[in-house]
Structure 1
Amino acid sequence: MRRELCPVETLYVPQRSRAVLSCTLDGPVDTAALAAAFDAVTAEQPTLRTRIVPVEGGGHALEPLPEPERPRLTTRPPGEDAYAEELNTPLTVGGPLARAVLIGEPGGHTHTFVLTVDHVITDGHSAITLLNRLWDRYGERLAAGSDNDAEPRPPAWPAPVSTLLPPADEADTAAYLKRRVEDTQLRPVQLLPYDVPSGGGPDHRIEVARLRLNLDETLRLRTAARTAGLSVHGLIGAALLLAVRRRMDGTGSRVLACMSPVDVRSRLTPPLSAEVMVAAVTAHLHTLEVRPDSSPHDLARELGAALGDHIERGDHFREMRIMPDVPRHPALQMGTVINTNMGAVSGPRLPDGLRVTDVRLVPAREHYFPQAGRSPLMACVTTFDGRLAIEFPHHTACFSTDFMAALRDEVGATLLSLTAGAGSPRTPEQTVTA
């Protein structure tokens, strides 16, 4: 049995993009119970037990994996590069679309759990929901104190989100595409130049520069945004654009663009549950003039108003309908910065004796094109349990660790400066991880 991918899902196949979720744990972990919990969630979600296969005549489909190839929890000892190796391990076409790994010493009290899911079958909201459901199942198994080997359900494929959109007039969609293409041609967007010479060697890999605010700083940033009549998302977009613009030549304006992924599942009628494992996201691209000394508040206000108007007009549905045209017109999604934001969400809830000290969501992919000389800046924004973090994944054949650390620090300084009226800012936690 197969389920063909829709044109929107097919776009993700060559990208080989994936969501890498992780949580750092303090306390003992029952590995057998965690393995059973992972089996339980894969039994509940048929797409987690599939692989991508080509379809005769073109395109791709999901096909159930043979039972021996189903994803299972694996363990590995701790090490300096353990998380980095998981981040840099791909999910290949033809193989499992999910991977779960527990890093830590058997019987130890410090672990890192890493869950990787292919973007073809997930988005940020469903990936986070999957992580939390896994730990719910873990707690239930410990509480039951007995075997609970789940049998996989027969495939019941979730429908592609592109088939759930409201009715549309083909002429309206064609006119929207024409207008979008013309706009990208009239105002070509500048990208962030790489600081690493072209032609890097085989030792290059994905690394992540991370900015993390504490609870008080996050609250003050939200308060500052609300007081100014702005969104946190808009302020972060402004800080990102300014950091990028200051790394370009000249003192005048440059045409930059902020791409904001837009959740579709919550805007369907009826809304689609975050438990449904499908990619249910499109994007809004807003182009604007940015100077090195532009006002963060002015940029945030423009970004917020443009995103609000985009959704009010229903353009997020139009964007999903034209996504199959992106390969022919890549500028349709060519942002100078990609500012994702999952909003405020809860992390895993664990049984007594086990505590989560950190939760992360990092996007990764296989192809970073160092030969291009420049690219968008990816910033993945999450707020788990009241703490805002921005992950800056990058490939070291394009951007050096020092370059990304300096950019991260500047974004952090800009955001904290905006909270000055809500208290005394301190230096946020700033880390670079591989």
Structure 2
Amino acid sequence: MTARPLSPFESGYFAADARLGSVPVGGMPLFIGTAVRGKVDEHILRRVLGELAAGHVLLRSRVDTVGGVARFVAGEPVMPTLTVREGGVDEYWELVNSPQDWAAGLFRAVLLRGVRESRIVLVIHHGISDGRSAFALLEEMWRRYAAHAAGTEPPLHDSDDALLGGVDELLAAVVGEAEVDGFLAHLAQEIAEASPADAPHTMPHDGDGVGDAGGRLALRRIELSPGQTAELVEVARGRGISVNSVLAGAALAAVRGELAGDGPIPLMCGHAADLRPDLSPPVPVSTILNCASGAGTPALVDRDADPLAVGAVVDATMRVLRESRFPALFMRAAQRPLAPQVAAMLSQPPAIALSNMGRLPAHPMPDGLEFVRDEVFAMAAGMPPKMTIFTVGGRLTVQVEYDTAEHSHTRMGRVAEAMSDRLARVTRVAVRG
């Protein structure tokens, strides 16, 4: 048996009402999986789930509290729970809107067998994994499944079996206390110099709590074709900015349409930030560990703003934030007692947030199964609206995610339509060019 205390950052994910910045994180589950056509072999899937738990120590861990100290405890590999039942889209939404019981472990799976397609859903406690390592786990699941379906035996251990410390503790080796002091002093100076007119706006709250399949958490999905995805990449390259910045510009332009008034107004785009590159040595993305921090990029956005122009502003700000190591410093600072003004600044909700997983390879699909789409969801009640973005096999997906108690289906449906429209305009620019 191996064990270690939860780090302060990880502890928040296991505490009620905890927040990271503006995001409520206490007890948050992370759902990730794949919809396929064809019959999923339940016996192969069970075997693969056992191999995943054997190769990733946090997947076979539980949280115990001894003497008031919460700690991860990992014993011998165990078979994660697999629930198999009939179900389609409605049953999926019932699942992601249901409270999760983590007493039996921090990792399990659900297989929903539908009439036209089935869904494999991995259910992971967000305290042990971020989206990037969850996608790596999903890719490993399919690689192992395809190997078993073809009659071959993949290596049992090809990932992590050491119980690493939390990312905030690992950061302490590369981000010193003096740097955190300077970071907080800089924020205090920015607050002192700020004008009330600079405060970013957010969308009006008009939620009624009526979501999909009876739950309050919902999403609207935008799927680009491989051709549109390639065009979007070319546009970004032609402008010398990242694809993420183009998407952020389009998102802010889409949100601006929901705000009253003429002329440019200040908006903030939130971004999930991967801390792995800041660590020494870097932690591989295949290692199950929550390494997610955040950053925000303010921009003045007009009602008819050009997404590429707004994206250029976002890109320039993101470069500064990366060079100054803002996400790492934010993570370290969040573990300290903060002055009320600084705490308020760091917890200010964005108008929209982006969680971009980047470009991912297509899954190896065994004979008899046809890939439909990947699906990921990590939301909590009261969370600001966000867009989860990923590109699998050359096809980009944008999930517009929200809490219907905060923002209505009608409003967020308009945001999704506006986002889709602005991305279509951007790709048409590429076609004409």
Asked if structure 1 preserves the Cα contact closer than 8 Å seen for 2:389 and 2:396, the reply is yes
- Structure 1 110/19 Cα, relative in aligned 2: closer, same or farther at 3 Å? same
For 2:272, what is the secondary structure of its paired residue?
strand
Asked if structure 2 preserves the Cα contact closer than 8 Å seen for 1:286 and 1:306, the reply is yes
Q: Aligned partners of 1:412 and 1:197: how far apart in 2? A: 24
Q: Aligned partners of 2:258 and 2:369: how far apart in 1? A: 44
Q: Please give the residue correspondences for 1:23-422 in structure 2 after superposition, counting only pairs within 5 Å.
A: 23-54=34-65, 56-57=67-68, 60-64=70-74, 71-92=80-101, 94-104=103-113, 110-144=117-151, 156-165=162-171, 166-181=173-188, 183=190, 186=194, 187-196=198-207, 203-325=214-336, 329-333=343-347, 334-365=349-380, 367-368=381-382, 376-422=384-430
Deviation per CA, 1:149-168: give whole Å up to 9, x if none. 979x9974122222333433
- Structure 1 273/150 Cα, relative in aligned 2: closer, same or farther at 3 Å? closer
Once the two structures are TM-superposed, the CA of residue 325 in structure 1 deviates from its matched residue by 4.2
Asked if structure 2 preserves the Cα contact closer than 8 Å seen for 1:132 and 1:348, the reply is yes
Once the two structures are TM-superposed, the CA of residue 23 in structure 1 deviates from its matched residue by 0.8
Tell me the TM-score normalised to structure 2 length: 0.85
2:350 partner letter: G
Tell me the TM-score normalised to structure 1 length: 0.85
Deviation per CA, 1:331-364: give whole Å up to 9, x if none. 3143222111111111421222322121122222
For 1:86, what is the secondary structure of its paired residue?
helix
Structure 1 partner of 2:21: none
For 1:193, what is the secondary structure of its paired residue?
coil
Deviation per CA, 1:208-258: give whole Å up to 9, x if none. 111111111111111112112222111111111122222122113322211
- Structure 1 340/155 Cα, relative in aligned 2: closer, same or farther at 3 Å? closer
Asked if structure 2 preserves the Cα contact closer than 8 Å seen for 1:36 and 1:149, the reply is no
Q: Aligned partners of 2:372 and 2:262: how far apart in 1? A: 43
- Structure 1 271/72 Cα, relative in aligned 2: closer, same or farther at 3 Å? same
Q: Aligned partners of 2:305 and 2:220: how far apart in 1? A: 25
1:120 partner letter: G
- Structure 1 92/72 Cα, relative in aligned 2: closer, same or farther at 3 Å? closer
Asked if structure 1 preserves the Cα contact closer than 8 Å seen for 2:30 and 2:124, the reply is yes
- Structure 1 75/197 Cα, relative in aligned 2: closer, same or farther at 3 Å? closer
For 2:305, what is the secondary structure of its paired residue?
coil
Asked if structure 2 preserves the Cα contact closer than 8 Å seen for 1:86 and 1:114, the reply is no
Asked if structure 2 preserves the Cα contact closer than 8 Å seen for 1:158 and 1:277, the reply is no
Asked if structure 2 preserves the Cα contact closer than 8 Å seen for 1:40 and 1:149, the reply is no
Asked if structure 2 preserves the Cα contact closer than 8 Å seen for 1:21 and 1:359, the reply is yes
1:422 partner letter: A
- Structure 1 71/255 Cα, relative in aligned 2: closer, same or farther at 3 Å? same
2:166 partner letter: P
For 2:266, what is the secondary structure of its paired residue?
strand
Deviation per CA, 1:53-75: give whole Å up to 9, x if none. 44544x6322348988x632221
For 2:110, what is the secondary structure of its paired residue?
strand
For 2:299, what is the secondary structure of its paired residue?
strand
Once the two structures are TM-superposed, the CA of residue 102 in structure 1 deviates from its matched residue by 1.0
Asked if structure 1 preserves the Cα contact closer than 8 Å seen for 2:50 and 2:77, the reply is no
Q: Aligned partners of 2:34 and 2:160: how far apart in 1? A: 30
Structure 2 partner of 1:372: none
Structure 2 partner of 1:7: 8
- Structure 1 318/272 Cα, relative in aligned 2: closer, same or farther at 3 Å? same
Q: Aligned partners of 2:209 and 2:217: how far apart in 1? A: 16
